[in-house]
């Protein structure tokens, strides 16, 4: 259940890449928005489980030397997951009209936005420093590429 918001965002990323040539810029925006919205709903669904149990951990797999790739979700994690998915979805919703007339790179923009949101969700639900570090680097890379999105325009 902990991984469901991440899976919703990952599904949106894969759909953006897979349907890049078939969708218009506006439809790509709506696809990204509904992926973020699905992650928000998946986070909301976890609230009753957190209220009942307090927290829960999920180990996805063991990495090198038995270092677990694990997620930990508690009440504070849920608050920040709601913040990341809620604000992220609101930003993507705003971008649907803003990016509708963009001539190119819309798929890249929405993939970066969904990856950024997934990095935030992963960061606040990380159970160890390895996952926190990796998710922090993902967030940093997405920020770098989003700031330089219009790299071909000299004014930007």
Mean pLDDT of 8-26: 93
Report the SS3 class of residue 99: coil
Q: Which helix (H) or strand (E) holds 69?
A: strand 68-74
Residue 156 pLDDT greater than 70, yes or no: no
> What pairs with residue 126 in β-bridges?
71
Residue 130 pLDDT greater than 90, yes or no: no
* Contact between 43 and 19 (Cβ < 8 Å): no
Burial 103-123 (b: 16+ CB within 10 A, else e): eeebbebbbbbbbbbbbbbbb
Token pair 């604000």: residue: 87
Confidence class of residue 118 from pLDDT cuts 50, 70 and 90?
very high
**94-107 pLDDT tens trace:** 999 988 887 778 99
Mean pLDDT of 3-24: 93
**69-86 pLDDT tens trace:** 889 999 999 999 999 999
């Amino acid at each position: 259940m902990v991984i469901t918001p991440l899976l919703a965002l990952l599904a949106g990323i894969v759909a953006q890449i897979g349907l890049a040539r078939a969708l218009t810029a506006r439809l790509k925006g709506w696809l990204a928005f509904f992926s973020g919205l699905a992650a928000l709903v998946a986070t909301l669904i976890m609230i009753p489980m957190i209220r009942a149990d307090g927290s829960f951990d999920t180990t996805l797999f063991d990495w090198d030397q038995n270092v677990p790739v694990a997620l930990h979700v508690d009440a504070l994690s849920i608050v920040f997951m709601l913040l990341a998915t809620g604000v992220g979805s609101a930003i993507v919703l705003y971008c649907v009209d803003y990016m509708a007339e963009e001539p190119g790179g819309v798929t890249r923009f929405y993939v970066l936005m969904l990856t950024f949101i997934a990095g935030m969700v992963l960061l606040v639900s990380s159970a160890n420093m390895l996952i926190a570090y990796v998710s922090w680097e993902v967030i940093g890379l997405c920020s770098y590429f989003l700031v330089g999105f219009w790299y071909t325009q000299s004014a930007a």
